Amino acid sequence: MSKIHVQTTINGEETEFLCEPRQSLLEVLRETLGFTGTKEGCNDGNCGACSVQMDGVLANSCLVLAIEAEGKEITTVEGLASPEGLHPIQQKFLEHAALQCGICTPGFLVAAKALLDQNPTPTEHEVRHWLAGNLCRCTGYDKIVRAVLDTAEEMQSA
Amino acid sequence: MFVTLYEEDFPLKDFEYCAPKTLREAVSLLAEKGESARVMAGGTDLIVQMRGKRFQTERVVDIKHIPELNELSFGNRKGLVIGAGVPCWRIYNDSEVVERYPGLIDSASIIGGIQIQGRATLGGNLCNASPSADTTPSLIAYSAVCHIVGPEGKRSMPVEEFCVGPGKNALKAGEILVSMQIPANKKNQGAHYQRFIPRNEMDIAVVGVGSWVELANRGKEFKNVRIALGAVGPTPIFASAASEALIGQAVSDEAIAAAGEAAQSVASPISDMRGPAEFRTHLVGVLVKRTLQGAVARAKGQFVANAVQEAAG
């Protein structure tokens, strides 16, 4: 099948690519565009490792067709840090050692950022509920939850 | 060599992608290809099923660019219209729906995780016709009507007639589910959905029950009742006899318990990895009772926490 031209915005930059209709956004991000920060875990919407924001809404990029990115604004983990430094959520993940093997981390970072975008002062329960779609087999989640809560607190006082 | 799962193990076969902007266009795109064309809303079931090679797909018709499918609006006359392409997050972030239809929020806020809710739609949940779909019992309880458009025009049907078997819906070739419409809510009405799962989140209902009530005589009597059961039969079930038996009765623990028993008699659950049939039948009695109690409390204007709020304490 011939490739389709898609025009989109990724991490604030206008981007265009060619893809087949069958290709997932995850596949194109990683294989065509080189955004390898977005990870493939289960490839069926269970683990959240491939989380991205589409027009601000959190989604699993393995369950999005790349062609659906047309006209959308996509945020991947590469879009979190600025030239000035890491996003506070990234810094807090480091400080709290909220990762071990790291494969789930980009998904958690994107999901946690999406939470803080719309709820700057989440409770612990709200953090755990929001992150239920992200699986981590190493940390036991506690450090992740603390990192997110600490980020919220710091961003509030900043 | 670097091997990726999506290339080697779960390839999606080539298909044609269409994103029509009108219903007319969508219907003809679907009708042309018959069974080998599939409608895509959120894609959270469809893409997984296509990877699993459950069916040959030649054409995917993305209906998210059609205005009618994106409608989410309330009016005192028309009630609530939910376009079949409206994702869950829009529903539970809509203050009017939250206030007027809490029994819908109960189920829309527990499908998958936040990522799934960012894409998954009630219309897709319904069309996928899983017996355990969370939102379908809520829609049945609320007397939703499905609006369908196809090559032969428009038609409508009660939501309880829409699912006809596991994974099978009532749509004919070329037809699209456009929207679900729920009557305007009134005072003295309330609804509640609960499911049983062995975990806190991210699971599929072992049993789900949605109940809706209208009370009379200052909240002391059942004027109208609708009880719907999920995951205990080949389709979601409208427990009509159990519902009707309550009409005209005084609101009491005894009447509610009797409704639970009556609903058990129409459940025909299977035993599988989520639970044995006996346990599921037991759960029907428990959840009918709890959801009726919740629906009665909401009909009296009392706050009843949904699963997300309850876990928050």
| Chain B CA closest to residue A126 | B312
Contacts of B62 in chain A (CB under 8 A): 65, 68
What does the pLDDT average to over A121-145? 96
The Cα–Cα gap between B247 and A8 comes to 56
Q: Each residue of A53-95: pLDDT tens digit?
A: 999 999 999 999 999 999 999 999 999 999 999 999 999 999 9
Q: How far is B6 from chain A (nearest CA, A)?
A: 7
* Burial zone of A70 (CB within 10 Å; 0-12 exposed, 13-18 middle, 19+ buried): middle
Of B51, B60, B115, Cβ closest to residue A59: B115
Buried b (16+ CB within 10 A) or exposed e, A125-136: ebbbbbbbbbbb
Count how many pairs of residues, chain A against chain B, have C-beta atoms within 8 Å.
Answer: 106
Contact B17 A48 (CB under 8 A): no
Average pLDDT, chain A: 97
pLDDT of residue B11: 62
The Cα–Cα gap between B264 and A108 comes to 42
pLDDT of residue B53: 73
pLDDT of residue B281: 97
- Nearest of B270, B204, B262 to residue B232 by alpha carbon: B270
Contacts of A22 in chain B (CB under 8 A): 11-15
pLDDT of residue B54: 67
Q: What ipTM goes with this model?
A: 0.96
CB of B269 closer than 8 Å to CB of B277: yes
pLDDT of residue B2: 47
The Cα–Cα gap between B195 and B137 comes to 10
Contacts of A125 in chain B (CB under 8 A): 311-313
- Phi and psi torsions of B60, nearest 5°: -110, 125
Q: How far is B204 from chain A (nearest CA, A)?
A: 12
Chain length of chain B: 313
pLDDT of residue A91: 98
Would you call B14 an interface residue with chain A, using a CB distance cutoff of 8 Å?
A: yes
Interhelix angle A142-157/A88-95, rounded to 10 degrees, is: 130
Average pLDDT by stretches of 10, chain B with 313 residues: 49 88 98 95 95 85 98 98 98 97 97 97 98 97 98 98 97 96 97 93 92 97 98 97 98 98 97 94 98 98 92 77
Q: What is the DSSP letter of A85?
A: B
Would you call B47 an interface residue with chain A, using a CB distance cutoff of 8 Å?
A: yes
Contact A27 B4 (CB under 8 A): yes
Chain A residues whose C-beta sits inside 8 Å of any chain B C-beta: 1, 4, 20-24, 26-27, 30-31, 40, 43-46, 48, 51, 54, 57-60, 62-65, 67-68, 111, 114-115, 123, 125-126, 129-130, 132-134
Coil/strand/helix, residue A65: strand
CB of B43 closer than 8 Å to CB of A61: no
What does the pLDDT average to over A96-111? 97
Q: What is the DSSP letter of A21?
A: T
Which two tokens mark B30?
A: 């679907």
Residue type, B165: G
Q: Please give the order of strands across the beta sheet that includes A57-60.
A: A13-19, A4-10, A73-75, A51-54, A57-60
Of A22, A51, A68, Cβ closest to residue B13: A22
